[in-house]
Chain A
Amino acid sequence: KNQVEQSPQSLIILEGKNCTLQCNYTVSPFSNLRWYKQDTGRGPVSLTIMTFSENTKSNGRYTATLDADTKQSSLHITASQLSDSASYLCVVSGENYGGATNKLIFGTGTLLAVQP
């Protein structure tokens, strides 16, 4: 069964500290993996996207890694800010050969709270 599991479920850190969020997946065949940030009550916004051939990608203070062999990904946030408080979703896209639409499988998310 295609699944995406994230850990921890929730995390509280102090402003300025770093943190790492984890994602394990069992999606096959695999096309790409994305991390989204979702503020409370709003839609998800993309942070990074990686294909199986990429093992790291950065977007400002966000760095994502991917190990396609072990089917694990992580999102590292550096020098956290209060505005980083949100839910972070790991989303795996299954390969949809020749298809015209995405097949996205979502994790339940990690709820991050950054405190002053």
Chain B
Amino acid sequence: ETGVTQTPRHLVMGMTNKKSLKCEQHLGHNAMYWYKQSAKKPLELMFVYNFKEQTENNSVPSRFSPECPNSSHLFLHLHTLQPEDSALYLCASSQRQSEAFFGQGTRLTVV
């Protein structure tokens, strides 16, 4: 256990559905991140938050909407996704620029 928990672990959704991914950390870290991992590609940074404030949006399509209500919780709201959005979505946290701790990921399949 890394101290970063993601739910659900697996998610299958249709292209017209709306769903949310949840990430929780109780490590006292200030920074939280969403990454997308597709097959045979490096992890792609999607969003970065520093104490609830979004500091980076890496040109992510608007069908992905992050929410950070407090420094321990991070959500990724999904709507009208495409099949190519199927991937492993990883949440991570860090205390400033120290080691990043990753959650177990949510395996998303869009049908």
Residue numbers of A with Cβ under 8 A of B are 4, 31, 34, 36, 41-46, 49, 89, 93, 96, 99-102, 104-109
Contacts and interface: CB of A to CB of B under 8 A. Distances in A.
B104 interface: yes
A93 B92 CA distance: 14
B42 to A, nearest CB: 4
A41 B42 contact: no
A108 B43 CA distance: 7
A43 B48 CA distance: 17
Given A34-B99, A43-B2, A43-B105, A100 B50 contact: yes
Chain B interface size band reads 20 to 34
Top 3 A-B pairs ranked by shortest CB distance?
A43-B102, A106-B42, A101-B31
Interface string B91-103: 0101011011111
29 contacts: A34-B99, A36-B102, A41-B107, A42-B104, A42-B105, A43-B6, A43-B90, A43-B92, A43-B103, A43-B104, A43-B105, A44-B43, A44-B102, A46-B99, A46-B101, A96-B97, A100-B30, A100-B51, A100-B55, A101-B31, A101-B50, A101-B56, A102-B31, A102-B94, A102-B96, A106-B42, A108-B40, A108-B41, A108-B42
Nearest to A89: B43
